[in-house]
Amino acid sequence: MYAKNLLDLSGLAELRYVRREEGKVKIGALATIADLEQQNGNSVWCKVLNNVAEKFGSPNIRSIATVGGNICSAASSEDLIPVFLVLGADVKAIRKGGTREIPLRDFLIDKRKTALDAGEILAEVNFPEPSALAVCSFQKLGMRNTLIIAVVSLAAFLEVDETDSKIAWARIALNRLRGKIPERAESVEKELLGQKLDQPTIETAAEALGKTVSLTSDSRASADYRREAVKVLLRRALVECQGAILRK
């Protein structure tokens, strides 16, 4: 016997879904990572969820690992959390006789600690359906591609104004921070606002992220190594966003 106390939720089929409703994308806590991988569509949220799923664990893991499980693990290494943070996600917690919605960033309190109360379970993560102008990128650096806990992962979400080509909305989130839970890099987000998404802007943002971010040192990498890595990942993310805008 390996588990002393375990409540198996996997029979709750009603918590396994990915659907669009009331201007939101709603994902049930029991949707598997394979479910995200199999989302068909050209929308920005489909593409980024496909992308994070393909870099997640291995096919064997993706078939049983759930979205709710990854979020509730609330560890710095979780890959879904930076993506949901930049998508502006809320989570829905349910308990007998009640439901509440909490912004994901408030749901994550500390390493392996969430805002869930006793008797509550995570039921859903949802986010506003991104506009036609939105672009998004997820970047993960690991020592190999499969079955790897990231050295660092980073997600970027941008909206660029069609008329003046300036960045109207920017969100960047990353993991492996000293705070032990994934968070947004708000000072860099602010610097991007009103800028044109060109090479100098990308370089400035990458350098700014390297300067401001407080990263952790552990057995996988030192904070100094991670500092160089996050600059590269932000560059890659913004270059990918640039390409996506050109293709629109």
| Secondary structure letter of residue 185 according to DSSP | -
63 binds other proteins (CB under 8 A): yes
Alpha carbon separation from 98 to 1, 29, 94, 123 (Å, rounded): 34, 17, 6, 12
Q: Shortest distance, CB of residue 8 to other proteins, whole angstroms? A: 6
1 binds other proteins (CB under 8 A): yes
10 binds other proteins (CB under 8 A): yes
Q: Please select the residue that binds other proteins; options are 16, 27, 49, 57, rule is CB under 8 A.
A: 57
Residues 6+ apart with CB under 8 A from 2: none
Q: Shortest distance, CB of residue 245 to other proteins, whole angstroms? A: 28
Q: Shortest distance, CB of residue 221 to other proteins, whole angstroms? A: 20
Q: Shortest distance, CB of residue 42 to other proteins, whole angstroms? A: 21
109 binds other proteins (CB under 8 A): no
Site for other proteins, residues 64 to 103, rule: CB under 8 A: 64
Residue with tokens 């890959």: 79
Distance (Å, rounded) from C-alpha 109 to C-alpha 101?
15
Q: Please select the residue that binds other proteins; options are 8, 14, 22, 117, rule is CB under 8 A.
A: 8
* Amino acid at position 190, single letter: K
Residues 109-145: b if buried by 16+ CB within 10 A, e if exposed: eeeeebbbeeebbbbbbbbebbeeebbbbbbbbbeee
13 binds other proteins (CB under 8 A): no
* Amino acid at position 173, single letter: A
- Cβ nearer to other proteins, comparing 14 with 117: 14
Helix or strand or coil: residue 48? Answer: helix
Rounded to 10 degrees, the C-alpha dihedral 121/45/39/43 comes to: 150
Beta-carbon count within 10 A of 47 CB: 17
Q: Please select the residue that binds other proteins; options are 20, 21, 59, 198, rule is CB under 8 A.
A: 59
Site for other proteins, residues 125 to 164, rule: CB under 8 A: 145-147
Site for other proteins, residues 15 to 54, rule: CB under 8 A: 34
Question: Where along the sequence are the contacts to other proteins (CB under 8 A)?
Answer: 1-3, 6, 8, 10, 34, 57-61, 63-64, 145-147
